[in-house]
Amino acid sequence: MSNSIPKTMTAWRQNAYGGPESLTRAEVPVPQPGEGEVLIKIGATSLNGADIRIMRGDPKLVRLGSGMRGPKEKIRGKDVAGTIVAVGPRVFGRSVGDRVVGELPGGGLAEFVVAYSSKLSTIPSGVDDKIAATLPLAGGTAWQALESVNTDRGASVLIIGAGGGVGTFTVNLATWAGAHVHALCSPRAIETVAALGAERVDDRTATSTESLASDDYDVIVDLGGVVPLRELRRLVRDGGDVVEVAMGGNSVVGPLGRAIGSQAMSTWSKKHLRPLLATKRPGLTKTLLDLVASGEITPHIDREVPLDSADQAIKALDDGEVVGKILVVPGS
Ligand SMILES: NC(=O)c1ccc[n+]([C@@H]2O[C@H](COP(=O)([O-])OP(=O)(O)OC[C@H]3O[C@@H](n4cnc5c(N)ncnc54)[C@H](OP(=O)(O)O)[C@@H]3O)[C@@H](O)[C@H]2O)c1
């Protein structure tokens, strides 16, 4: 590695599942890129609901993937943007100095991270690292929630819990596609969600879905996971879809019961309940980068926090204080 790369870096490590207090600031070795990998100097990391789930190991089902005794990946932070500073063996088509973004298994709450080159997208010159870092997981999930349902011009779309990372992208993308969006969100998010294009925005803490008319929506995207499935089914038209992004559930198996219920209720029904399992898609991140570069969508950044205070950023997200996205920015 080049001499300008330090031997150690600041990172927030987590040895045991728990709340934000389980993260500890530490000085750790800068990782070295292996075969097919690059070393990224991080420009910005955006936090997601998924970071909270892994931090807490909640529901317990996630521990089958993230580690039974504690998180296998010790550093939270999946959505990372920055500049390549070293390239490992057998990396083709990328060089030191390239700016890249991607959804990683973790490692973002640090100054440097290694990533497989093939999982990254190149950031176009008109997009800065902070905006790019908002896109892979939250923007990618919103896109996947909408891609197999009808959001054509004129479709009516209800978005429940529209004020978070995935929610704000869902409002933005559905509006961009030409749909009429009705959003339910927490009071602090109302102004932002309206500015992103929702035609009607209601305070979800004061508006029960029971007050909404039956068979009124072509699509419902649910980011809360608490409205009963029968109620969601009542609100959507015949031929329409309910996309369950957050599926609630208990602390052991999480959304599994609700997913099985959705399957059962959709059989022989003209109303489709669709649990979503979003996947990492670098090609989709590229599409979102292009939409941002051309000004067609605008990620909403609530705030930026320096790396030294990353535990406070995680706490703000865990406490439900964030509208849109929160960033951790090394060197700020
Ligand atoms: N299925 C998948 O593949 C997939 C992928 C990514 C994320 N997710 C899930 O999607 C959800 C959002 O993720 P995120 O990264 O956007 O997290 P986030 O930025 O922390 O946003 C969470 C949002 O959820 C909404 N919410 C919370 N409790 C609610 C309730 N009782 N009723 C309605 N809405 C509620 C809130 O919206 P308001 O501010 O409007 O109240 C909140 O802002 C999380 O549950 C996450 O686990 C699922």
pLDDT at position 79 over 90:
yes
200 shares its domain with 312: no
Average confidence (pLDDT) over 15-30:
97
Q: Measured from the CB, is residue 48 less than 6 Å from ligand 1? A: yes
Structural domain contains residue 281: no
Q: Which domain holds residue 53?
A: 8-134+299-329
Return the SS3 of 273. Answer: strand
218 shares its domain with 323: no
Structural domain contains residue 219: yes
Structural domain contains residue 283: no
Taking only the tens place, the pLDDT of each residue in 40-78 is 999 999 999 999 999 999 888 889 999 999 999 999 999
Residue nearest to atom 14 of ligand 1 (CA): 49
Q: Measured from the CB, is residue 193 less than 6 Å from ligand 1? A: no
- CATH number of the domain encompassing residue 79: 3.90.180.10
Q: Measured from the CB, is residue 232 less than 6 Å from ligand 1? A: no
Q: To test the ligand 1 pocket, which listed residue (223, 276, 325) has its Cβ within 8 A of the most ligand atoms?
A: 223
Residue 252: the pLDDT is 77
- CATH number of the domain encompassing residue 247: 3.40.50.720
pLDDT at position 123 over 80:
yes
Structural domain contains residue 262: yes
Q: Which atom of ligand 1 is nearest to the CA of 227?
A: 32
How far does CA 106 lie from the centroid of its chain? 13
Structural domain contains residue 3: no
Q: Measured from the CB, is residue 185 less than 6 Å from ligand 1? A: yes
231 shares its domain with 315: no
Q: Measured from the CB, is residue 106 less than 6 Å from ligand 1? A: no
pLDDT at position 2 over 60:
no
166 shares its domain with 205: yes
170 shares its domain with 263: yes
Residue 264: the pLDDT is 85
Distances (CA, A) of 43 to 109, 110, 239, 269: 11, 10, 44, 48
Q: Measured from the CB, is residue 271 less than 6 Å from ligand 1? A: no
pLDDT at position 265 over 90:
no
- Exposure class string for 248-263: b at 16+ Cβ within 10 A, else e: ebeeeebbeebbebbe
106 shares its domain with 49: yes
Cβ neighbour number for residue 303 with a 10 Å cutoff = 13
Distance (Å) from CA 225 to ligand 1 centroid: 8
Average confidence (pLDDT) over 244-266:
81
115 shares its domain with 152: no
pLDDT at position 311 over 90:
yes
Structural domain contains residue 293: no
Q: What percent of the chain has pLDDT over 70?
A: 98
143 shares its domain with 270: yes
Number of domains in the chain: 2
Q: Measured from the CB, is residue 134 less than 6 Å from ligand 1? A: no
65 shares its domain with 95: yes
pLDDT at position 1 over 70:
no
Taking only the tens place, the pLDDT of each residue in 209-242 is 999 999 999 999 999 999 999 999 999 999 999 9
Q: Which two tokens stand for residue 238?
A: 């015949």
pLDDT at position 307 over 80:
yes
Average confidence (pLDDT) over 147-172:
95
237 shares its domain with 313: no
Residue 248: the pLDDT is 73
172 shares its domain with 268: yes
Q: Which atom of ligand 1 is nearest to the CA of 53?
A: 47
pLDDT at position 261 over 80:
yes
123 shares its domain with 29: yes
Q: How many CA within 13 A on the CB side of residue 227?
A: 30
